[in-house]
A = this chain, B = another copy of it.
Amino acid sequence: MSIFERARELAIVQSAAEVIAWDQETYMPSQANDHRAKQLSWLAARAHEMATCDDWRRDLEDAENNDTGSDAKLSANLRELRRHFERATKLPTTLVARESSATSLAKHAWAEAREKSDFKAFAPHLEELLEIAREKASLWGYAKEPYDALLEGYERGTSTAAVATLFDQLRPEIRSIAAAAVQKSNQQSITLPAGPYTVAAQQKLNQQIAESIGFDFTAGRIDTTAHPFCTTLGPHDVRLTTRYDENDFTSSLFGVLHEAGHGLYEQGLPADEFGLPSGAAVSLGIHESQSRLWENHVGRSREFWQKWYPVAQEIFPQLNAFPLDDFLRFIRSAAFSPIRVEADEATYDLHILLRFDIERRMLNGSLNVNDVPAAWNDGFRELFGFTPKNDREGCLQDIHWSMGGLGYFPTYTLGNIHAASLFACAKSDANIATAIALGDYAPLLAWLRQNIHAHGSTLDPSDLIQQATGKKPSSEDYIKHLTQRYL
């Protein structure tokens, strides 16, 4: 067996676990959770064994020794397989199984704790997941702090300190844009015409829009969960989820645009390289750049709604007396919301700054789990000017920690930054700009396919951005975009 055949077999096992995890989030009855944890744990342990066994090591070494360097993609694949192998072999199977089981139980506990705003019920799960995360970080090793080792798994080639520096630079800019945007919205407050916007009607509009921007429903679907996500169950099987508010159809719609952005990236990866690094997404930051691009740069633009608002008006007759300009003001209105996934573009990054700070301190041990609600509320008040009314709207709102996803949050803001750079660069092509002005996004998608999706994870995120845009990653385009839209 070659190392590439092994990698493809591993992807079969990992994607089988994704099917099972998807069902756990979407349709599984509540009593089934304990056994589901065992299924996921078994598969995670097998996957870990496969990716860390002596045969894998030997076949990887053989391929490395035979690599003449004449095939850049092959060399990139070997380099990435080596990187994954080094990370994976530092973790014992028992720890991997323990994490899988812990996250499976924690996700369920989190959903219940969140429902009841009962942080204490979730605290022991978070404690266990932190302990596992620290153990992983210490096994992987890190330059300065445990957070470095976790971050590397989501966004290779960066560091906690680099993110902190970037965030410290962004903080004053984002705070002033957010404050001004919120003030403007408060001065000319606007509300959507009253619902109900039925779930069935929302699904119809969402499906049409997702299809029109290129999401392939013969290789994917949209289901419903409390926390929207996108997951890949195979090379032609991308599952999105959203959630519905019958008083506001834009909540599910922007959820779908966001997740479809992730989905377009997954559907744009080379399907015949599924399981190889060249067939896989490169990082969460790049992934988020795709979702943010479609959600915010496309989905909140005038051009987009010039095409789609008449369709929405046909589906929701109450919009007929609500002019397009008012609708645009509505979908661009800014407010200091306690909930990240409902946050608008102008205030979103404040949520990330808070989370980055909290989880960095939790990992460093300078913040105890029991003190998280208080620390959250203090940090939130400083950034937003008020305190969340309960933990359901505070530190319990996100699924990430319950999935063991510590170190994940900063990639959202990295994604915002990259999205702005990519969109600005693509739009500088006259053909793409003309098509966008007409509501035709096929040329934009083709550009993303070619410059981002087709590369899989053969390039480092920052190199990928530089190659696509001709510039090093920078927040310049992002601040420019926010300033133009909100000030």
Name the residue of chain B whose CB is nearest to the CB of A221: B29
Q: Mark A13-51, 1 if CB is under 8 A from B, else 0.
A: 101100110110001111110111011001100100000
Let me know if A218 and B30 touch, CB within 8 A: yes
In the bound complex, what is the Cα–Cα distance between A32 and B219 (angstroms)? Answer: 6
Contact of A217 among B12, B29, B236 (CB under 8 A): B29
Let me know if A233 and B32 touch, CB within 8 A: yes
**A274 CB-CB contact with B under 8 Å:** yes
In the bound complex, what is the Cα–Cα distance between A1 and B247 (angstroms)? Answer: 56
Name the residue of chain B whose CB is nearest to the CB of A39: B16
**A9 CB-CB contact with B under 8 Å:** yes
In the bound complex, what is the Cα–Cα distance between A28 and B233 (angstroms)? Answer: 9
Let me know if A32 and B236 touch, CB within 8 A: yes
Contact of A39 among B19, B39, B220, B236 (CB under 8 A): B19
How would you classify the secondary structure of chain A's contact residues: helix, strand, loop or mixed?
Answer: helix
In the bound complex, what is the Cα–Cα distance between A35 and B14 (angstroms)? Answer: 12
Name the residue of chain B whose CB is nearest to the CB of A233: B32
Name the residue of chain B whose CB is nearest to the CB of A41: B12
Let me know if A234 and B16 touch, CB within 8 A: no
In the bound complex, what is the Cα–Cα distance between A274 and B38 (angstroms)? Answer: 13
Report how many residues on chain A are interfacial, defined by Cβ distance under 8 Å. 36
In the bound complex, what is the Cα–Cα distance between A481 and B147 (angstroms)? Answer: 71
Expressed in whole angstroms, the minimum distance between the Cβ of A239 and any Cβ of chain B is 8
Residues of B with C-beta under 8 A to A217 = 29
Q: How many copies does the complex hold?
A: 2
**A80 CB-CB contact with B under 8 Å:** no
Contact of A42 among B13, B19, B30, B234 (CB under 8 A): B13
**A146 CB-CB contact with B under 8 Å:** no
Let me know if B35 and A237 touch, CB within 8 A: yes
Residues of B with C-beta under 8 A to A35 = 12, 15, 234-237, 274
In the bound complex, what is the Cα–Cα distance between A47 and B54 (angstroms)? Answer: 23
Residues of B with C-beta under 8 A to A30 = 218
Contact of A31 among B27, B32, B43, B237 (CB under 8 A): B237
Q: Which residues 290-317 of A have a CB within 8 angstroms of B?
A: none
Residues of B with C-beta under 8 A to A29 = 217-221, 236-237
Expressed in whole angstroms, the minimum distance between the Cβ of A403 and any Cβ of chain B is 19
Q: Mark A175-218, 1 if CB is under 8 A from B, else 0.
A: 00000000000000000000000000000000000000000111
In the bound complex, what is the Cα–Cα distance between A217 and B28 (angstroms)? Answer: 10
**A64 CB-CB contact with B under 8 Å:** no
Closest 8 CB pairs of A and B: A35-B234, A32-B237, A31-B236, A31-B219, A16-B39, A31-B218, A19-B20, A12-B42
> Could you jot down 19 A-B contacts, CB within 8 Å?
A12-B39, A15-B35, A16-B16, A16-B20, A16-B43, A20-B20, A22-B23, A23-B23, A27-B223, A28-B237, A29-B219, A29-B220, A29-B237, A31-B237, A32-B233, A32-B237, A35-B234, A36-B237, A46-B46
Chain A: residues with CB nearer than 8 A to chain B? 9, 12-13, 15-16, 19-20, 22-23, 27-32, 34-36, 38-39, 42-43, 46, 216-221, 223, 233-237, 274
